[in-house]
Chains A and B, each alone.
Chain A
């Protein structure tokens, strides 16, 4: 039996510190900045799910925007056309994302490397075509409007600050769940399977089961994010759920550091805030993104979090040497 007390401290202290920083933040920033941070939160949820899949289980998904879209459309359609409660819509978003992930995951996760990447890419594109073309359900490019906001009992979330706390509350919760998984038997099984699937199987790890479970979990994270997005922006159309966004998500996970769950958060912050500061270069967005992607992959392939940690270690080492 592990000594639990020390484990709990190590696991959750960074989380507590993070929460302490985030809680007072809305009082010091403008409405617009709060709104941006809500998007950071939504992207962080997406990135965390994907990070569990890519970083820990070592799989890849180039179509994750599809699950984001499934969650968003499920919530949107049920709460507008069928006038169901937001919470039912939420539940439907989660269930539907999980089911589709199961459906796609079972045949896909037998594939490896490039083949898996292409299969997920193809799936993502198929879902995008579906969102655009099946307008009896999704209203096509016109999108769905007047999606109701979230209400907790008699309190309705209206302002950016309300959504800030709600979204980040969920994000922190999901972060805690992720950390829990990572430090558990499941997490070790995932890392074993990432290291070498054959070896893991030889040691009795049911790799197929874990791969599918983590894939479904990452889809559920994305579905939750989609639901939150729909209710926050009150309008959705197919355009955020395309291949470009799937790639941005992969980029977020990889930038922050593929094997680090905090990397997903760092990546979400950097890549959601960056376009705001690059607004001057609006047109060159794509090229700059692409260049950063390539340069990071070439020079810091492990991502920012490990890369900067290494850099700090190196500076301290040099500091020691000179004394």
Chain B
């Protein structure tokens, strides 16, 4: 393979990897605040893209308002989901919560299919379609948007977790819920915020990637799974690791398409997930945490 080809694969890998990173961020935010893995995370990404396209195409909103409006709406959906489906059984076993979030993802997917239709939809690129040349490879302007927004989000999140009260409260709650309660942190409110927040983050990922890959109601499943893989690779609970994990996964997946047939593309990411789970479940970018012994 020529260098320019490899570069092309890397660029497209970084682009799709950013979406995996956003999804992984969503997993991490909820996991950090609650210890729950939200199997519906991929659906938030899907809804972000699909609703934005709907706002733009059907309601004829200007692109900026369509995108922001979609993110806000998905955030509200996330909050409603938490209150209706998670909160009533918030102390239930891991399996029950897994099944509830799986049910949630099926519900969101089915609703999207009915309300927004089965056909893939697109958004226009944020700043034009003309590809830029970069050492023999072509970058779409949208890809630069995606990567730039990803990096900005990481910086913002880092500031949030380290310098704001709410962010610190979330970190405290993830370390030890009881202690957090004792210090006066409203843990159940935090759960609500974390679902809303992670839905918003997922929606951002969906919105920025839709101009490149079309949005369709069924895209949530695979994106969710790969986002989880990215979160594991980066170390579950580590926001920066999540994004890094996403980028790494995206690049590996993209390069593998060059080497093996593209039909196996999904299997490659999942294989990476399995390998990381088997060999180093703590991930590669985080510190190795010991496993808690539950009574």
Chain A residues in the interface with B (C-beta under 8 A)? 54, 60, 107-108, 110-115, 117-119, 121-123, 125-126, 129-130, 132-133, 196, 198, 243, 247, 250-251, 254, 258, 283-287, 289-291, 293-294, 297-298, 301
Which of these, B88, B102, B277, contacts A111 with CB under 8 Å?
B277
Chain B's interface: helix, strand, loop or mixed, by majority?
helix
Q: A125-B267, A129-B267 are in contact. List 5 more A-B contacts (CB 8 A).
A: A112-B291, A118-B37, A122-B229, A126-B267, A297-B103
Interface size on B, residues (CB 8 A): 43
Contact in complex: A298, B114 (CB < 8 Å): no
Bound CA span A104–B109, Å: 30
* Structural contact, A118 and B99, CB atoms closer than 8 A: no
In the complex the two chains form, is B264's CB within 8 Å of A250's CB?
no
Would you call B274 and A126 a contact (CB within 8 A)? yes
Q: Does B106 contact A (CB under 8 A)?
A: yes
Does the CB pair B274–A119 fall under 8 Å?
yes
CB-based nearest A residue for B269? A122
Q: What A residues does B85 contact at CB under 8 A?
A: 294, 298
Given contacts A111-B281, A119-B274, whether A247 and B106 have CB atoms under 8 Å apart is: yes
A107: chain B residues within 8 A (beta carbon): 278
Task: Tell me how many residue pairs across A and B have CB atoms closer than 8 Å.
Answer: 117
A126-B114 CB under 8 A given contacts A113-B94, A132-B263: no
Query: For the complex, what is the distance from the CA of A277 to the CA of B100, rounded to whole Å?
Result: 24
Q: For residue A111, which residues in chain B have a CB less than 8 angstroms away from its CB? A: 277, 281
- Which residue from chain A places its CB closest to the CB of B89 in the assembled complex? A298
Per-residue contact bits, chain B 203-234, to A (CB 8 Å; 1 contact, 0 not): 00000000000000000011001001100100
Interface pair B88/A126, CB less than 8 Å apart: no
Judged by a CB distance under 8 angstroms, whether B104 is at the interface is yes
CB-defined interface of B98-113 with A at 8 Å, one 1/0 digit per residue? 1110111011011101
Q: List 14 A-B contacts (CB under 8 A).
A: A60-B95, A60-B98, A119-B273, A123-B274, A125-B222, A126-B267, A126-B271, A132-B263, A133-B264, A247-B106, A287-B111, A290-B106, A293-B99, A298-B89
- On whether the beta carbons of B99 and A251 are closer than 8 Å, the reply is yes
Q: Please, how many angstroms separate the alpha-carbon atoms of A112 and B236 in the complex?
A: 14
Known contacts being A107-B278, A122-B225, A122-B274, is A117 close to B98, with CB within 8 Å? yes
Q: Which chain A residues border B102 with CB–CB below 8 Å?
A: 247, 250, 293
Does B129 touch A at the CB level, under 8 Å?
Answer: no
A156 and B277 CA atoms in complex are apart in Å by: 47
A residues in contact with B89, CB < 8 Å: 297-298, 301
Whether A287 pairs with B107 at a CB distance below 8 angstroms is: yes
Residue from A126, A247, A294 whose CB has the most chain B CB atoms within 10 Å: A294
Nearest chain B CB to A285's CB is how many angstroms away? 8
